[in-house]
Amino acid sequence: MYFTDLTLATSTTLQAFSISDITDPVAVLNAFGPIALVGLLLVVFIESGVLFPVLPGDSLLFVAGLLTAAGTGAAVGEATYTGSAMSLPVLLIGVPIAAILGSQVGYFIGRFGGEKLFKPDARFLKTKYLDESHEFFEKYGPATLVLARFVPFVRTFAPVAAGAAHMNYVKFVIWNAIGAIIWGDGILLLGVWLGQIDWVRDNIDKIFIGIVLVSVLPIVWGVAKKYLSDRRANSSASA
């Protein structure tokens, strides 16, 4: 009876979910209703290497951390959280595990599927995403697996790039685990800490924008450096 009611409740909330809500962390969690915690772990697993990079990883973890203290019924910006209660100890253990497992899948996709899966005009599996991950990987080596966790899109494709490059598996597992723990638990605890501040809860949309801007800074910096380097090279060649 319990599982029947749980399935019905979850089905009802998922039916109310719109694809346009996919980048809204509160809407995503609410969509899973009574299994919001399980849904969060599923999203982390998918975004960590299963080639679906548009899910709200950073902001989702931040909100989850905030909700461990605020609880069901809490107002988060203009939205109200209606899903199940979030347990901080479970999240601190479960999120890194989900992230590690997702990246393992990504590694083996890259190892055995390689670049054949990516196309320049694809909607999600764009060649440029894999190329960016390759460049990141070549520049920072194994530490990429830690740094990439904090960069949208790159964190999804970095494990694939590592697999395609046939990175030593033991080394991959170690660095992947380090990155998953620092990223997952770090953002959760940041949400717990900042979530105690009323201004943060009331202006969560601005916080999300800030998270996105900080996340993409490494990409912007890399593109800017490459542009300036190419420009200097062209100037030297024409001199």
pLDDT in tens, 95-116: 999 999 999 999 998 888 766 7
Confidence (pLDDT) at 15 = 46
- Domain encompassing residue 171: 2-238
- Amino acid identity, residue 93? I
**Whole-number pLDDT of residue 104:** 95
- The whole-model pTM stands at 0.75
Q: How many CB atoms lie within 10 A of CB 158?
A: 32
Predicted pLDDT of residue 2: 34
Choice between 176 and 24, residue whose per-residue pLDDT is larger: 176
Coil, strand or helix at 77: coil
pLDDT at 135 over 80: no
Which band of pLDDT confidence, cut at 50, 70 and 90, is reported for residue 200? Answer: confident
Q: Give yes or no for a contact between 133 and 154, defined as CB atoms under 8 angstroms apart.
A: yes
Over residues 32-37, mean pLDDT: 87
Burial of 138 (0-12, 13-18, 19+ CB in 10 A): exposed
pLDDT for res 27: 84
In the chain, how many domains are there?
A: 1
Asked whether residue 8 carries a pLDDT value surpassing 50, the answer given is no
pLDDT tens column, 60-96: 898 888 888 776 656 666 677 787 888 899 999 999 9
Write down the pLDDT at residue 198. Answer: 79
Of all residues in the chain, the percent with pLDDT exceeding 70 is 67
Look at residue 119 and tell me whether its pLDDT is greater than 80.
no
pLDDT at 110: 85
